[in-house]
Structure 1
Amino acid sequence: MGRRDPEPPRMFDIFDKMAAEVVERARAQSQAVALERKIRAPRNRRSNWTGDRQTLCEIGDLIQLRHRGPCDTDDGEAYLRAALPWLIAKAGGPLAEDLEDRVADWCRVVVPRLGRVAIREGIAEARERDGRQRLWWSAQALGDLLRLTVDERERARITRMRPAGMTPRKFAAYQRAREAEKAKARRIAKGATPREQSKAALEPWVALGMSRATYFRKQQAGTLPAQIRDRETVSSAADAKHLKPVTGRSHVAEQIVPGPARSARPSPSVGAVGHAPRGKPRAAPPGRAVALPLPEGGVSEHPDMLGGGEWRHFNDVLTDYAGGVLPDDLVRAVRDAQRVRQMTQEAVARQIGISRPQLANALQGRFGLSRSAAANLMTWLAA
Structure 2
Amino acid sequence: MTANANARRLAPDGRSRAQEQSEYSAPHARSEVRVGNAVLGYRARKHPRRVEFAHLRVVAIERLIRARHGGPVDTDDGEAYARAAVGHVSEISDKHRRLNDPVEWCRRWCPGVLNEFGELWVLDLVHEHRRRRRGLKADEIAILLGVTEAERIHLGLETFGAIDRRKDQRTRERKVQKAQREKARRIANGATPRERCLRALKPWEGYGWSEGYWRRQMKAGRVPDPRKQG
TM-score by length of 1: 0.31
Of Structure 1 and Structure 2, which has the larger fraction of its residues in helix?
A: 2
Structure with larger Rg: 1
Of Structure 1 and Structure 2, which has the larger fraction of its residues in strand?
A: 2
